[in-house]
Amino acid sequence: MSTARARTANTRASSHCNATIVPVLKKKICLLGSYGVGKTSLVARFVHSMFTDKYHTTVGVKIDKKVLELEGAELTLMLWDMAGEEDGVPVRLNQVKDASGYLLVADGTRGRTLDIARDIQRRVEKEVGVRPFLLLVNKADLRDTWEIPESAWGELADSGWTVLETSAKSGERVEEAFLTLSSRMLNAPADDDDDDDDDD
């Protein structure tokens, strides 16, 4: 991946009173995919550098924040860790509307989760619109037992997808994934993501 390493800081509240003129940006990223693929773990690894093997299903949505400096801007990432999709209960996409980009997450050891990720991506394009995204095939630490065949990689590359093999457990390529997506969001054609509020 081409993204330059960025200095990341895990601050709870970003300081807005910098003397130098540093653009302060706030961007929303949604994590989408089947349940149990490791979305929560990827966020925990990226934000808190933590990993636990214990599975805890995400209810509704869980929002985390990470402030980082990227390409000369201070960027606050709002990470929306959405409840995983499961059979009969498709993930709700209305929260993706104001997102600047999203991460599709699949579990390498469960081939079906790749199909679900593809399906979610199609629905996002259709119902919400085009946003920068990456596909993360997680659980790279169990690579020996992956079900996703090698042939899938070629097909995905042909469709112009960027695929990263990540491991929330070891941390492999996790930071790179978030930074790559952030960089693409910053360089994407500007959409109206100002958070001002008109009033009555």
Partner 1 sequence: MTTTTMMTTTNEPIDLFAAFDLAVFERKKKRVFAPVGRVPDWLPVEAGPIDLGDRFPLLEMFLGELREAGAPDPLRSDLWSEPDGHGGELYLEAIGVVCEGRRFVAIRSLPQERFTYQQLAHDFELEKHKVERLSRELEIKRQEAERATQAKSAFLASMSHEIRTPLNAIIGMADVLSLTSLTPDQQKYVETFQRNGVSLLNLINEILDLSKVEAGHVQMEAVDLDLGDVVARAMEVVELRVSAKGLWLRQSIAPDVPRSLIGDPHRLRQIIINLLGNSIKFTERGGLEIRVELDPENPAPGRLRFGVTDTGIGIPADKLGVIFESFGQADSSTTRKYGGTGLGLTISKHLVELMDGRIWVESTVGVGSTFFFTAGFGVQAVQAAKTPSASAAAPVQDVPEGLRILLVDDSDDNRLLFIAYLKRTNSAIDIAENGQIGVDLFRARRYDLVLMDVEMPVMDGYQAVSEIRRIEKETGAEPTPVLALTAHAFSDMSGKGFAAGFTDLLTKPIRHATLLEAVAKYASAPIEVQVEEDMADVVPAYLEKRRAEVAVYRRALEAGDFDTIKHLAHKMKGTGTGYGFPRLTELGAALETSALQKDAEGVGKPLHEFARFVDKVQLK
> Contact residues for partner 1 (CB under 8 A)?
28, 35-36, 55-63, 78, 80, 84, 86, 92, 94-95, 97-98, 109-110, 145, 147, 195, 197, 199-200
- The CA distances from residue 86 to 57, 90, 94, 145, 183, in Å, are 11, 6, 17, 22, 30
| CA nearest neighbour of 146 among 123, 171, 175, 114 | 114
- Residue partners of 187: CB distance under 8 A and separation at least 6: none
Spell out the residues 6+ positions from residue 53 whose beta carbon is closer than 8 angstroms to its own.
169
Minimum distance of partner 1 from residue 70's CB (angstroms): 20
What's the min distance (Å) between Cβ of 64 and partner 1? 10
Nearer to partner 1, 158 or 199 (CB): 199
- Count CA within 13 A, CB hemisphere, residue 87: 1
Of 81 and 165, which CB lies nearer to partner 1 in the complex structure?
81
Q: Which residues pair with 28 in a beta bridge?
A: 78
User: Would you say 91 or 103 has its CB closer to partner 1?
Assistant: 91
Among candidates 11, 86, 71, 18, which has minimal Cα distance to 47? 11
Nearer to partner 1, 59 or 190 (CB): 59
**Minimum gap (Å) between residue 18 Cβ and partner 1:** 19
To partner 1, the closest distance from the beta carbon of 91 in angstroms equals: 11
For the CB of residue 59, give the shortest distance to partner 1 in the complex, in Å.
5
Measured from the Cβ of residue 48, the count of other Cβ atoms closer than 10 Å reads 11
Considering the complex, state which of residue 1 and residue 89 has its C-beta at the smaller distance from partner 1: 89
